[in-house]
């Protein structure tokens, strides 16, 4: 697969507000607590310098146990897979994991407040949406992972900001349609066919995919030679031909599967893949079509109470073994060696420009609200 851009995106205005409400947290080099944590990281890297393979791993285990024997993992990952990953790590290394699971916004609030307060027992590891991790990195909350043999196996586009965070699994945007309502001859092969061939109330719009809109507008400019305004007008025309807007990728995909709508303009391919595996009459783009990638990732905290444990857990999560655990829960993992649930070969993968989505959040959210209002019924579920 050929990559066109770097980064990924998500809804970000609530993130910006949350960070502002918590105040500007200190950077990794400010304050006595942060300085102590930075020295802890230096001590860990000094201790494993020159070690490889099992010797390096065992040194990290030794240091992690000496530093309290607990790893604090803050994660927006679902409880089932997060719990399975935690259990596998503890069984392998004999190190307990405190697993704090919350929404992405819950992670933002807790991490920023704890860092700002200089809390001594905050997060060691943070696993969340790419957007949140980029914001944490901008605030100096993350410690870049250095010289990791596990991270070295990942493709360059999966290692963000010189190791500040690394992709764990990826959601891919694609149109999803009901195969009883969209014939094989009608099945779209590219985004222009999606935008132009399913008006007259046949389509539905997911109500909050701001990151998809930002990526789509840029993509239309690159592939169709459209100005930004022309691309936006093209998407607006498509939305005006849709019957309604529905919030939630799983929900809207299920409604397409049940025949309430012919096609959703964009949703996560994983929802369609799961539905099709369960016998639902649905399909999505086939290669060599372009899909838009939005990753989740893992990072370690600059103020980690247990830096050796943080690095050990992050590398386990990214390893073939840890990624294999995540893949069993129908995630499309970024680990290039894990084939279970992997995206089929041949797609052109277009990672969403996360930085742009963050910096222009107001613009993309306002535009998307316009799209919702242009549909015949407006936003009717989850608004």
Q: What's the pLDDT tens digit per position in 38-91?
A: 559 999 999 999 999 999 999 999 999 999 999 999 999 887 899 999 999 999
Query: Which is higher by pLDDT, 40 or 309?
Result: 309
Would you say residue 2 lies in a domain? no
Evaluate whether 107 touches 95 at the Cβ level (below 8 Å).
no
Q: Which pLDDT score, from 0 to 100, does residue 24 have?
A: 40
Q: Do both 130 and 272 map to the same domain? A: no
Q: How many domains does the chain have?
A: 2
Would you say residue 341 lies in a domain? no
Cis peptide before 288 (omega within 30 of 0): yes
Q: Each residue of 274-290: pLDDT tens digit?
A: 999 999 999 999 999 99
Would you say residue 4 lies in a domain? no
Per-chain mean pLDDT for the chain: 89
pLDDT reading at 13 higher than 90: no
Residues 303-310: what's their mean pLDDT?
96
pLDDT reading at 237 higher than 70: yes
Q: Do both 140 and 193 map to the same domain? A: no
Would you say residue 335 lies in a domain? no
Residues 218-245: what's their mean pLDDT?
97
Q: Do both 120 and 160 map to the same domain? A: yes
pLDDT class of 26 with cuts at 50, 70, 90: very low
Both structure tokens of 5:
């851009």
Domain region containing 368: 171-293+346-375
Q: Do both 59 and 201 map to the same domain? A: no
Q: Which pLDDT score, from 0 to 100, does residue 39 have?
A: 59
Would you say residue 304 lies in a domain? yes
Q: Each residue of 123-181: pLDDT tens digit?
A: 999 999 999 999 999 999 999 999 999 999 999 989 999 999 999 999 999 999 999 99
CATH number for the domain harbouring residue 123? 3.40.190.10
Q: Do both 312 and 351 map to the same domain? A: no
Orientation angle between helical segments 307-318 and 79-93, nearest 10 degrees: 110
Nearest Cα to 141, choosing from 109, 175, 172?
Answer: 109
């Amino acid at each position: 697969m050929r990559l066109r851009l770097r980064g990924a995106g998500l809804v970000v205005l609530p993130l910006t507000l949350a960070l502002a409400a918590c105040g500007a947290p200190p950077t990794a080099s400010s304050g006595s607590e942060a300085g102590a944590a930075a020295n802890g990281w230096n001590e860990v890297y000094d201790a494993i310098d020159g070690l490889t393979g099992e010797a390096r791993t065992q040194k990290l285990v030794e240091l992690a146990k000496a530093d309290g024997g607990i790893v604090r993992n803050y994660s927006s990952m679902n409880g089932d897979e997060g719990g399975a990953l935690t259990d596998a790590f503890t069984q392998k290394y004999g190190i307990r994991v405190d697993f704090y699971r919350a929404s992405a916004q819950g992670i933002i609030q807790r991490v920023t407040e704890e860092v700002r307060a200089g809390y001594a027992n905050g997060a060691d590891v943070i696993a969340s949406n790419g957007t949140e991790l980029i914001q944490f990195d901008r605030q100096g909350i993350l410690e870049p992972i250095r010289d990791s043999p596990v991270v070295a196996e990942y493709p360059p586009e999966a290692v963000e900001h010189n190791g500040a965070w690394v992709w764990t699994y990826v959601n891919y945007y694609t149109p999803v349609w009901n195969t009883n309502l969209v014939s094989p001859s009608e099945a779209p092969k590219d985004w222009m066919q999606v935008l132009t061939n399913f008006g007259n109330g046949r389509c539905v719009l997911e109500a909050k995919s701001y990151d998809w809109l930002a990526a789509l507008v840029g993509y239309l400019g690159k592939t169709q030679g459209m100005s930004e305004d022309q691309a936006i007008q093209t998407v607006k025309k498509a939305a005006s031909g849709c019957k309604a807007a529905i919030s939630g990728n799983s929900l809207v995909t299920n409604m397409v599967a049940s025949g309430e709508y012919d096609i959703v303009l964009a949703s996560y391919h994983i929802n369609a893949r799961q539905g099709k595996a369960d016998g639902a009459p649905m399909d999505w783009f086939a290669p060599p079509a372009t899909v838009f990638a939005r990753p989740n990732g893992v990072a370690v905290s600059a103020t980690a109470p247990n830096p050796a444990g943080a690095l050990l857990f992050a590398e386990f999560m990214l390893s073939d073994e840890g990624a294999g655990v995540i893949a069993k829960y129908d995630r499309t993992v970024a680990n290039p060696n894990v084939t279970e649930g992997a995206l089929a070969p041949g797609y052109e993968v277009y990672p969403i420009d996360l930085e742009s989505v963050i910096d222009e959040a107001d613009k993309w959210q306002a535009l998307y609200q316009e799209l919702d209002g242009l549909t015949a019924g407006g936003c009717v579920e989850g608004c």
